[in-house]
Amino acid sequence: MNFCSHCGAAVTLKLPAGDNLPRHVCNQCGMIHYQNPKVVVGAITEWEDKILMCRRAIEPRYGYWTLPAGFMENNETCGEAAVRETLEEAGAQIALGPLFAFVDLPHISQIHIIYRARLLNLDFKPGEESLEARLISESEIPWQDIAFRSIDYTLKCFFEDRRRGLFELHTTIMSISVPETYC
């Protein structure tokens, strides 16, 4: 950040009065520009014994497999974001279930939140950001080609929970920098 998005003047990184972290402060109008973590939301969607996965048609991680997920937008709920991303990336209509995975990624200032969901029908097809959208059983999961560690974690938690017949909320922290940023 170099300029004030409000008045266009240069900003300086400094500690505002009463604050304890340096912020980008406008030299002209004094506006303080806070920068905060972003929320990525997705769904692990079931149909019979399979789950819905997409192969990415965009960077980062072009060609790798993921669960439909993306940045939460202003003026939507987390759940709405999961439904929207599943429709956009897999062309799939779902009924959303409970929160399932909550992953902190402080090194990239993101939270990844995944809900469980049920697929409503088989009328789905890959969206513009996906090369493929497929229903995949546990034995077919391409474990070596998963796009992001948070998705790998979610998948493993899901199949473990399904085996024991009890789904719970799973939370973890992934703090080592690896190429998993959503751009």
What's the closest the beta carbon of residue 160 comes to its own copies, in angstroms? 19
Contacts of its own copies in 132-171 (CB under 8 A):
169, 171
What's the closest the beta carbon of residue 59 comes to its own copies, in angstroms? 13
Yes or no: say if 13 and 54 are a contact pair by the CB < 8 Å rule: no
Q: Does 90 help bind its own copies (rule: CB under 8 A)?
A: no
Q: Does 5 help bind its own copies (rule: CB under 8 A)?
A: yes
**Spatial CA neighbour of 85 closest among 120, 45, 48, 121:** 45
Q: Does 57 help bind its own copies (rule: CB under 8 A)?
A: no
| Calpha distance 153→27 (Å, rounded) | 44
By beta-carbon proximity to its own copies, the closer residue of 36 and 121 is 36
| Calpha distance 100→24 (Å, rounded) | 36
- Going by their DSSP bridges, the two strands 38-47 and 110-119 should be labelled as parallel
By beta-carbon proximity to its own copies, the closer residue of 97 and 152 is 97
Interface with its own copies (CB under 8 A), residue from 12, 109, 137, 177: 109
**3-state SS track over 120-178:** CCCCCCCCCCEEEEEEEEHHHCCHHHECCHHHHHHHHHHHHHHHHCCCCCEEEECCCCC
| Interface contacts to its own copies, rule CB under 8 A | 1-8, 10-11, 18, 20-21, 24, 33-39, 71-80, 88, 98-99, 102, 104, 106-107, 109, 111, 128, 169, 171, 173, 175
